[in-house]
C-alpha cells in the first residue's frame, strides 16, 4: 500500500528535488518498502523520458571522434575477473605483505611510543597536581590544627578562669590598711597565688603565714610562710598542707619565724 504522501515524495525524488529531512525520511522508507522502490524506479524512467521533450539537435560530428579518442585512453571497469598467475606473483605478494606488515608494525610502534610519552606526561602532571593538592591540604590542615589548638587554649583559659576563685583580702590590722592583697585559688591544682602590694615589712624574727579556711577542717589549713621586701611587693604561690575542698576564706597572720602549725599570731588580712 503506497500512500499519497509516498507518491508525492517518489515523484519529487524522481526529479532529484528531495532535500534534507524529506529526503532522509523517504530514503528510510525506501529501504524497507519494495513496492515503493518499484514505484520510484518506474517514475524515474518516466521522468527521464521528459528529456525527449527538449528540441532535438544533432551534436557536432567531431564530438563522436573526440569521445572515441578519449575512450581509447581509458580502460572500462571490467565485469570479468582476468586469470591471474598466482604462483608467479606469490613471492612478490609475500614480500609486499611483509613490507605492509612491517610498515604497519612501525606505525603501531611509533603510535604506541607517542601514546606512552603522552601518558607519561599526563601522569607527571597528575602527580604534580596531587602534590600541590596535598601540600595545600597539609597547610590547611596545619592552620586548622593551630586554630583548634588556639581555640582549645582559649577555652581552657576560660574554663580555668571560671574555675579559679579570686578573693581580695581586707586588712584587719592597723598597719596593713593600705595593703592590697589578692588571692587566686585553683581548686583543681590545689594551689594558689597571692599578689601583694604595700604590705608592711616585718622584722626578721617574724613571718607572714598563709591560711586557707575550709569547713571540712576544724582549724585553718597552713599555706606556708613568706617574708616581704622593703617595698612590700610580692607574688607568691602557695600550696596548703591539706587538700582543700571548699576554700571559704583566705587569711594571712603574723607569726614567729618559720611559721606555726596552728594560727597563733594576729590575723592581719582576711578575704572570703
Q: What is the DSSP letter of 84?
A: -
Q: Which of 30, 43, 173, 182 touches other proteins (CB under 8 A)?
A: 43
Q: Closest separation between CB of residue 4 and other proteins, Å?
A: 8
Check residue 2 for interaction with other proteins (CB under 8 A). Answer: no
Check residue 15 for interaction with other proteins (CB under 8 A). Answer: yes
Check residue 14 for interaction with other proteins (CB under 8 A). Answer: yes
User: Does residue 221 contact residue 205 with C-beta atoms inside 8 Å?
Assistant: no
Check residue 54 for interaction with other proteins (CB under 8 A). Answer: yes
Q: Which of 80, 86, 88, 205 touches other proteins (CB under 8 A)?
A: 80
Q: Closest separation between CB of residue 107 and other proteins, Å?
A: 33
Q: Which of 3, 24, 28, 50 touches other proteins (CB under 8 A)?
A: 50
Give the residue with the Cβ less far from other proteins, 55 or 91. 55
Check residue 46 for interaction with other proteins (CB under 8 A). Answer: yes
Check residue 114 for interaction with other proteins (CB under 8 A). Answer: no
Using CB under 8 A, which of the segments 10-18, 139-147, 219-227, 258-266 binds other proteins? 10-18
The residues, ordered by sequence, that sit 6+ positions from 254 with a Cβ below 8 Å of its Cβ are 173, 202, 206, 207, 208, 209, 265, 266, 268
Task: Report helix angle 34-49 to 4-14, nearest 10.
Answer: 40
Check residue 21 for interaction with other proteins (CB under 8 A). Answer: no
Question: How far is Cα 196 from Cα 163, in angstroms, rounded to an integer?
Answer: 22
Cell representation of residue 103 = 610498515
Give the residue with the Cβ less far from other proteins, 76 or 85. 76
Check residue 229 for interaction with other proteins (CB under 8 A). Answer: no
Check residue 173 for interaction with other proteins (CB under 8 A). Answer: no
CA distances from 265 to 171, 252, 253, 254, 269 (A): 15, 10, 6, 5, 12
Q: Which of 24, 25, 28, 67 touches other proteins (CB under 8 A)?
A: 67
Using CB under 8 A, which of the segments 50-58, 152-160, 253-261, 262-270 binds other proteins? 50-58
Q: Closest separation between CB of residue 68 and other proteins, Å?
A: 6
- Among 188, 197, 190, CA closest to 162: 188
In which residue are the cell numbers 524512467 written? Answer: 45
Question: How far is Cα 235 from Cα 1, in angstroms, rounded to an integer?
Answer: 115
The residues, ordered by sequence, that sit 6+ positions from 53 with a Cβ below 8 Å of its Cβ are none
Q: Which of 31, 68, 87, 261 touches other proteins (CB under 8 A)?
A: 68
Question: How far is Cα 192 from Cα 188, in angstroms, rounded to an integer?
Answer: 10
* Stretch (H or E) spanning 269: strand 266-271
Residue 173, burial from CB neighbour count under 10 angstroms (0-12, 13-18, 19+): middle
Which phi and psi (to 5°) does residue 160 adopt? -60, -45
- Judged by the rule CB under 8 A, the positions of this chain that interact with other proteins are 4, 7-8, 11-12, 14-17, 19, 41-60, 63-64, 66-68, 70-72, 74-80
Amino acid at each position: 500500500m503506497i500512500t499519497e504522501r509516498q507518491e508525492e515524495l517518489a515523484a519529487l525524488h524522481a526529479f532529484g528535488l528531495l532535500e534534507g529531512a524529506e529526503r532522509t525520511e523517504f530514503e528510510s522508507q525506501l529501504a524497507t518498502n519494495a513496492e515503493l522502490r518499484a514505484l520510484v524506479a518506474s517514475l524515474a524512467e518516466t521522468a527521464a523520458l521528459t528529456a525527449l521533450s527538449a528540441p532535438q539537435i544533432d551534436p557536432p560530428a567531431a564530438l563522436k571522434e573526440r569521445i572515441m579518442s578519449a575512450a581509447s585512453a581509458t580502460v572500462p571497469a571490467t565485469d570479468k575477473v582476468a586469470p591471474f598467475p598466482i604462483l608467479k606473483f606469490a613471492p612478490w605478494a609475500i614480500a609486499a605483505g611483509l613490507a605492509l606488515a612491517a610498515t604497519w608494525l612501525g606505525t603501531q610502534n611509533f603510535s604506541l611510543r607517542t601514546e606512552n610519552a603522552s601518558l607519561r606526561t599526563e601522569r607527571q602532571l597528575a602527580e604534580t597536581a596531587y602534590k600541590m593538592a596535598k601540600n595545600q591540604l597539609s597547610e590547611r590542615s596545619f592552620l586548622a590544627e593551630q586554630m583548634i589548638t588556639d581555640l582549645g587554649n582559649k577555652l581552657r583559659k576560660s574554663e580555668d578562669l571560671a574555675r579559679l576563685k579570686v578573693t581580695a583580702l581586707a586588712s584587719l590590722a592597723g598597719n596593713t590598711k593600705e595593703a592590697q592583697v589578692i588571692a587566686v585559688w585553683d581548686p583543681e591544682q590545689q594551689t594558689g597565688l597571692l599578689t601583694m602590694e604595700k604590705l608592711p615589712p616585718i622584722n626578721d624574727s617574724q613571718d607572714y603565714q598563709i591560711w586557707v579556711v575550709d569547713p571540712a577542717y576544724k582549724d585553718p589549713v597552713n599555706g606556708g610562710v613568706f617574708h616581704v621586701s622593703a617595698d612590700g611587693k610580692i607574688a607568691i604561690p602557695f600550696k596548703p598542707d591539706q587538700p582543700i575542698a571548699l576554700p571559704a576564706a583566705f587569711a594571712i597572720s603574723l607569726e614567729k619565724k618559720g611559721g606555726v602549725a596552728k594560727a597563733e599570731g594576729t590575723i592581719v588580712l582576711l578575704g572570703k
